[in-house]
Amino acid sequence: MNLDALNDDFGIPGKIQFEAGHGGLPMAKVSNDNCLGEMYLHGAHVTGYQPLGSDPLLWMSGESFFFPDKPIRGGVPLCWPWFGAHPTDPELPQHGLARIADWDVASTNQLADDTSEVVMRLTDNAETRAAWAHPFELMMRACFGEELTLELTISNSGDEPFDSATAIHTYFAVENIEAVTIRGLAGRQFTDQLDNNALKLQSGSLRFRAEVDRVYVDSEDDVVIEQEGRPAVHVSKTGSRSTVVWNPWIAKSQRMPDFPDDGYQTMVCVETTNAESDVRTLQPGRTHVIRQVVAPVDG
């Protein structure tokens, strides 16, 4: 990827610049009066969002791979067109193709209120069709401003319908997982991925004392991540009726090669998804938009 060409075509002086990131992978670096941000072309992966005067909102693994054939660990992986293991072929990559594909930059813009927009695009190619037969176009729009907006538009550019699952798999940085409370899921049902996908009911807000891996299957509500001693983070969404919450806790952290053993203490994933019963069928020529908006709560 030619960084000079990217900067000539899409750089916005003083706001958006393309640089070589970790592993030499190209990334957009955003700096404006609201925030700092980072987005790699590999996976259209947002790896940083820090409102000015605040701590970084996203967690990044210090042991992440930055290799063309591996997902980045932390930030916002984009899982598509399947979530988790492939339903029939265990050889295919976990969480789909999008997060290990190299995307193109489609556009950049400086919007109102000093918000910087980066849009990346992925279409089917020989490699994607070998794993998933359908023609498609994905547009990933990230707006870095007072809040972080992440919006994936999925288009069926073929002539057969397809089903696709999506996760905007955001890793939030927390100071201490045992001091975190997640509100907005009480009364919702979830499938417990740690208990043979048993369907369970969430009573009250969610706290963490062990591994958590849940797909809330009827959740359209906003979620608030509260922490003692730190501002809360508000997560809202559209185009999604399912929410995944994940913390690997001790043993799984130790098993993951790109994850620090104690990493579970300072992160939690709250994912805006189309998973399980919320997988979407797209007819030819139709699009689906799934959006997550992340904002620090004042005070």
Query: What are the residue numbers of the active site?
Result: 169, 271
Q: Which residue is nearest to ligand BG6 (CB)?
A: 94
- What type of residue sits at position 104? D
Beta carbon of residue 64, minimum distance to ligand BG6 (angstroms, whole number): 10
∠ Cα 42 97 145 (to 5°) = 45
Amino acid identity of residue 142, one-letter, is A
Q: Which is nearer to ligand BG6, 43 or 296 (CB)?
A: 43
Contact between 62 and 74 (Cβ < 8 Å): no
CA 119, CA 128: separation in Å to the nearest integer?
Answer: 20
Q: How far is CA 81 from CA 41, 97, 166, in A?
A: 18, 7, 6
Q: Which of 95, 60, 76 minimizes the C-alpha distance to 260?
A: 60
At position 288, the amino acid (one-letter code) is H
Nearer to ligand BG6, 103 or 246 (CB): 246
Q: How far is the CB of 194 from ligand BG6 (least distance, A)?
A: 9
Minimum CB distance to ligand BG6, residue 115 (Å) = 28
Does residue 135 have a cis bond before it (omega within 30 degrees)?
Answer: no
Give yes or no for a contact between 276 and 211, defined as CB atoms under 8 angstroms apart. no
CB of 144 to ligand BG6, least distance (A): 23
Binding residues for ligand BG6, rule: CB under 6 A, are 71, 94-95, 169, 193, 213, 244, 246, 271
Nearer to ligand BG6, 78 or 143 (CB): 78
C-alpha 19/C-alpha 8 separation (Å) is: 12
CB of 191 to ligand BG6, least distance (A): 10
* CA distances for 101 relative to 22, 30, 67, angstroms: 16, 22, 11
